[in-house]
Chains A and B, each alone.
Chain A
Amino acid sequence: MMSRITGLIAALAILTSSLTGVVRADDDAPDRLDIAKHKGSLEFIVYRDYPPYSYEKDGVFTGVDIDMGKALATAVGVNATFRTFIPGDDLDDDLRNNLWRGTIVGGSVGDVMLHVGADPQYVVRQTQVSIFGVYYREAVALSFDTRKFPSYSTIGDVKGRRVGVELGSISDQFLTTTEGGALSKSVTRYTTLDACVQAYTEGKLDAVLAPKGELQGLMFAHGAKANLAAPQPIQFQGIFRSAWEIGIAVKKDSPKLSAALAEAMSKLIDNGELKAIYARHGMDYVTPGLR
């Protein structure tokens, strides 16, 4: 297994190379950028049912990732279209099903996948897709009800409280296994974070542990009152990752598209447009560490 440092360096090399468009094409097919310019649109792939990033509201698909996709398309000089998908068992499935091969049910692939977890070791392992354009840093954070939590300093303070998490999430796994499961009885699991935050705003939970952006956006959407504290990042111990970068992915056969999107993303970050998009959905924009 490659060490984390080596992986990080290799990942940085890939991130850099994709900016300059030197990723070699797999075959003679035209670059997806040329196809997009010809038909006037790029197809973005976003998670279905993933508020506040990409979800249906009053019959319209909306969210941070939708706004960001539109802004990226504009910067490249085309329109944006979107396709949504249900996550498979792992990220390999999702990249394969949506970007480079299509599902075994015979689906076609799209152009750009948004909101891709960009773990350096994972990025460097990819043979079919480039993961690049890192644009956001997600970090696990805790919000607590100040009426029920007199003070909070370490994760141990949640012992005996009712802490809501999304089932199977990193928060769930951490609270369930850490310190020999000392906190496991404090966990209340929900199949979606949306349902968890709803319960939280209705006073059924003392705290919620979740990725900060997601949690902030959902608290905003559910109209959380002032007694629910703004989410504060939590540092996990051991190998449990408490923060990670988010990027975008394109099939390796389209280096021109990757380069154009990388440039467009830099522009959105530099001119504050991305920050404004996050703010519209009630979230703080966090510059990723790898940028």
Chain B
Amino acid sequence: MVRNSAGTSAAQVGCRALISMVLATSATAAVAAPVTDAMIANDQNTPNDVLTVGMGYSGQRFSSSTKINSDNIDDLVPAWSFSFGGEKQRGQETQALVNDGKIFVTGSYSRIWALDQKTGQKIWSYEHRLPEGIVPCCDVVNRGAALYDNLVIFGTLDAKLVALNADTGKVVWTETIDDFKGGYSYTAAPLIVKGKLITGVSGGEFGVVGRVEARDAKTGKMVWSRPTVEGHMGYLNGKENGISGKLNATWPGDLWKTGGAATWLGCTYGADTNELYCGTGNPSPWNAFTRPGDNLYSTSTVAINADTGKIEWSYQGTPNDHWDFDGVNEFITFDMKKDGKTVKAGAKADRNGFFYVLNRENGKLLGASPFVTKQTWASGVDLKTGRPIETNNRPGDPGKGEKGSSVFAAPSFLGGKNWMPMAYSGQTGLFYVPANEWGMDIWNEPITYKKGAAYLGAGFTIKPLYEDYIGALRAMDPATGKIVWEYKNPAPLWGGVMTTAGNLVFTGTPEGFLKAFDAKTGKELWKFQTGSGVVGQPTTWEMDGEQYVGVASGWGGAVPLWGGEVAKKVKDISQGGSFWVFKLHKSGKAAVAQK
């Protein structure tokens, strides 16, 4: 790992300026440090900045910083805290970005702030004006921004992309992803790859077709678009670029036209393969009996060439999904050492409860093992065919009976793991997976809701599997598929995980804590009560020779919106909206002496 050894603020600024001068290809006047492709590509190795959500293209959420470590974390104390203010609270799922003396934090209701990296004081804020009548399905969250050139770019609940001047917060360009009236929304963090802004789509159940899009990050102009349902045409520079897959190969009739497979968590990128790895959601309609076939590319990881927008391979976790097992989860690339060899691999902890390891060059399955204690729908995955070994756990067909028979299935539709990203440490060779232990009663209603029509009620209810915990942070060895350690949490885990070379793993809890664990043993080493539930993504950076850890606090997300037994566990959690920053304590004298 290349470690920036800058010790003072002057050195840091100097170093950054030098990098800018060397790397900036189109430095516009009066811009201190435009973010370049080279800087983004090297993000994981530069502790003084955080330029990407995921802390690098691979999405490993690993920092090489060791100043805060398992030996001194007792001294980790708050440096400052920033309140998002206003009346708008709810879920804060963001990860901060750090560059050029500023911290960029997005918040609920499509808001973003630039804060002074030293003081935590607000430099500017931008509050997106949301139109009347938007109905975001699953809370009003935002999962972070992207930096490029002198722009900070984020997506909004009314399905727009907004690029702001990083120094002033003034709008430079806006683009519409799709019509919010059609149920489209946007909550993920965009990804910048070679000057292109990569985004997916979030959308409601009916009529939405998932796709991945690449725009010129500086102008917002569309470069390519790739649908994630077979039969749909892709486009490159305004020209037809071939359909995805083969028409009607895995979909009956015309159902492919509205097939679902929304790409609502976006993509990671493998620089060595030049492929984007994008997870896709469940197919629609929900009743799987209406769409016999695998329904590609729903509930899959899809590898897309970053230049051409063509699909190079795909791997499907849940063929013909019947449990609402969205396959959107992040595919984290890493080099796996197994049997004395190093494999270019990638891993994904799927909603369906399996931890998949694939060869990222060709999508071949290398391993699939459960990261939850109970999986009713499949007994395993056939490593030869890559297909799940199903256990006849599908709900009954309402076309045949009075009502489709009810089955108990685990994990629940909220997943063994939901949106919250896991982390990978090259140092320990372990993945740290924020899992949840819950199941559901599930049945097919003969009536899904349509405006003005009869409606009976929801087709599933969610239930915890254990009395004493739902959440479980688990360390998985990708080479063996074994769980090395686990930490159990009473409420469901809903925040991202980060790991550092200081032998630490960080994650938040709905109970309000940011916690740190020993990366090797899972021993809980440190916690701090932030005042509201933590569902944000921790990150870390260095400044003036000290290491900082930052996380957003603010309870929300999809969990409190679903009722039943689970809601009881979280009903007393206060809402909030703030960004907390921590550093190692120094007494006044020690701090002065060091300067």
Residues of A within 8 A of B (CB): 47-50, 53, 84-93, 97, 103-107, 115, 117-119, 121-122, 125, 138, 166-170, 172-174, 176-181, 184-185, 187-189, 191, 211, 214, 238-241, 244, 246
Cross-chain contact B258 with A239 (CB below 8 angstroms): no
A-B interface, 4 closest residue pairs, ranked by CB to CB distance from nearest: A177-B399, A244-B454, A176-B290, A90-B449
- The answer, yes or no, to whether B14 is at the interface (CB within 8 Å) is no
16 residue pairs bridging A and B, Cβ less than 8 Å apart: A48-B133, A50-B451, A89-B205, A118-B454, A119-B455, A121-B457, A166-B450, A168-B205, A168-B284, A169-B453, A174-B446, A177-B287, A180-B400, A189-B254, A238-B399, A238-B446
A91 to B401, CA, bound (A): 24
Which of B136-144, B381-389, B473-481 lies at the binding interface? Answer: B136-144
Asked if B456 is an interface residue, CB under 8 A from chain A, the answer is yes
**B residues at A contact (CB < 8 Å):** 87-88, 90, 109, 130, 132-137, 139-140, 157, 181, 183, 204-207, 252-255, 257-258, 284-285, 287, 289-290, 292, 397-403, 446-458
Q: How far is the CA of A281 from the CA of B442 in the complex (A)?
A: 41
The verdict on A188 contacting B254 (CB below 8 Å), with A84-B133, A240-B446 known, is yes
Q: Interface on chain A toward B: helix, strand, loop, or mixed SS?
A: mixed
A177 engages B449 (CB within 8 Å): no
B257: which A residues are within 8 A, CB to CB? 189
- Min Cβ gap B349→A in Å is 26
- Chain A neighbourhood of B254, CB < 8 A: 187-189
Q: Point out the residue from A104, A185, A211 that lies within 8 Å of B139, measured CB to CB.
A: A104
How close is B557's CB to chain A, nearest CB, in angstroms?
Answer: 12
B132: min CB distance to chain A, Å: 7
With known contacts A117-B455, A125-B457, A189-B258, A173–B290 Cβ distance under 8 A? yes
Residues of B within 8 A of A115 (CB): 451-452
Pair B134/A168 contact, Cβ less than 8 Å: no
Known A85-B133, A173-B290, A239-B403; judge A246-B452 contact (CB<8 A). Answer: yes
Asked if residues B252 and A185 are in contact (CB atoms below 8 Å), the reply is yes
Cβ distance A132 to chain B, nearest Cβ, rounded Å: 16
Q: Say yes or no: B399 contacts A178, CB within 8 Å.
A: yes
Interchain CB contact under 8 A, B258 and A191? yes
In the complex formed, the residue of B with least CB distance to A187 is B253
Is B452 touching A47 in the complex (CB atoms < 8 A)? yes
A188 to B292, CA, bound (A): 17
Measured between beta carbons, the chain B residues less than 8 angstroms from A97 are 135
Kindly report which residue of chain A lies nearest to residue B130, judged by CB atoms.
A105
Residue of B nearest to A214 (CB): B452
Contacts A48-B133, A169-B450 known; 11 new A-B pairs at CB < 8 A? A47-B451, A86-B183, A105-B134, A107-B132, A168-B448, A173-B446, A176-B399, A189-B258, A191-B206, A211-B452, A238-B401
Main secondary structure of the interface of B (DSSP, over half): loop
Chain A residue contacts of B255, Cβ below 8 A: 189
Q: In the complex, are the beta carbons of B399 and A170 less than 8 A apart?
A: no
Residues of B within 8 A of A49 (CB): 181
Closest Cβ–Cβ distance, residue B404 to chain A (whole Å): 9
Q: How far is the CA of A80 from the CA of B302 in the complex (A)?
A: 52
When distances are taken between beta carbons in the complex, the residues of chain A under 8 Å from B87 are: 106
Report whether B456 and A181 are in contact in the complex, using a CB–CB cutoff of 8 Å: no
Give A180 to B289 CA distance when docked, in angstroms: 9
* Least Cβ–Cβ distance between B86 and chain A, in angstroms: 10
Query: Which of B140, B285, B450 has the largest count of A CB atoms less than 10 A from its CB?
Result: B450
Known contacts: A93-B135, A104-B140, A105-B130. The answer to whether A170 contacts B450 by CB under 8 A is yes
Residues of B within 8 A of A93 (CB): 135
A239 CB contact (under 8 Å) in B88, B137, B398: B398
Report Cα–Cα, A92/B130, bound state, in Å. Answer: 23
Give Cα distance in the complex from A97 to B401, angstroms: 34
Nearest residue, chain A, Cβ from B452: A115
> Does the CB pair B447–A168 fall under 8 Å?
no
Residue of A121, A168, A214 with highest tally of chain B CB at under 10 A: A168
Q: Which residues of A contact B450 (CB under 8 A)?
A: 87, 166, 168-170
Q: How far is the CA of A49 from the CA of B179 in the complex (A)?
A: 14
A61 to B198, CA, bound (A): 39
CB-nearest residue of chain B to A241: B454
Q: Within 8 Å CB of B457, what residues of A?
A: 90, 92, 121-122, 125
Point out the residues of chain B lying under 8 angstroms from A174, CB to CB.
446
Docked Cα-Cα span, A241 to B130, in Å, equals 38
Q: For the complex, give the distance between the alpha carbons of A107 and B451 in Å.
A: 20
Residues B452 and A184 in contact, CB atoms below 8 Å apart = no
Q: How far is the CB of A166 from chain B (nearest CB, A)?
A: 7
On whether A90 and B455 interact (CB within 8 A), knowing A48-B133, A105-B140, the answer reads yes
Do A181 and B135 touch (CB < 8 A)?
Answer: no
**Known A47-B451, A241-B446; contact A177-B398, beta-carbon cutoff 8 A:** yes
Given the complex of chains A and B, what is the CA–CA distance between A47 and B451 in angstroms? 7
Measured in the bound complex, the distance between the Cα atoms of B136 and A49 in whole Å is 18
- B458 to chain A: which residues have CB within 8 Å? 90, 92
What's the minimum C-beta distance from B186 to chain A, rounded to whole angstroms?
A: 14
Chain B: which residue is nearest A244 at the CB level? B454
**Most chain A CB atoms below 10 A, which of B90, B132, B135, B458:** B135
In the docked arrangement, what's the CA distance between A148 and B238, Å?
41
Min distance, Cβ B531 to any Cβ of chain A, angstroms: 21
B130: which A residues are within 8 A, CB to CB?
105
Please, which residues of chain B bring their CB within 8 A of the CB of A106? 87-88
Task: Determine the distance from Cα of A181 to Cα of B181 in the docked complex, in whole angstroms.
Answer: 32
Q: Please tell me if the beta carbons of B109 and A105 are within 8 angstroms of each other in the complex.
A: yes
**A211–B207 CB distance below 8 A:** no
B135 and A103: CB pair below 8 A? yes
A211 to B88, alpha carbons, bound, how many Å?
Answer: 41
A38 and B136 alpha carbons, distance in the complex (Å): 34
B292 and A122: CB pair below 8 A? no
Q: What is the CA–CA distance of A173 and B459 in the complex, to the nearest angstrom? A: 15
* Contacting residues, chain A, for B287 (C-beta < 8 A): 173, 177
Contacts of A189 in B (CB 8 A): 254-255, 257-258
Which of A92, A117, A170 has the most chain B CB atoms inside 10 A of its CB? A117
Taking CB atoms, residues of chain B closer than 8 Å to A117 are 452-455
Chain A residues with Cβ below 8 Å from B446 are 170, 173-174, 238-241
Q: For the complex, give the distance between the alpha carbons of A48 and B397 in Å.
A: 33
Q: Chain B residues near A118 (CB, 8 Å)?
A: 454
Chain A hits for B399, CB < 8 A: 176-181, 238
In the complex, A21 Cα to B493 Cα: how many Å?
Answer: 46
**B206 partner, pick from A167, A173, A246, beta carbons under 8 A:** A167
Give A89 to B403 CA distance when docked, in angstroms: 21
Please indicate the chain A residues that have their CB under 8 angstroms from the CB of B289 in the complex: 177, 181
* Contact (Cβ within 8 A) B207 A138: no
Closest to A237 in B: B399
**Once bound together, how far apart are the Cα atoms of A90 and B563, in whole Å?**
14
Interfacial chain A residues near B204, Cβ < 8 Å: 89
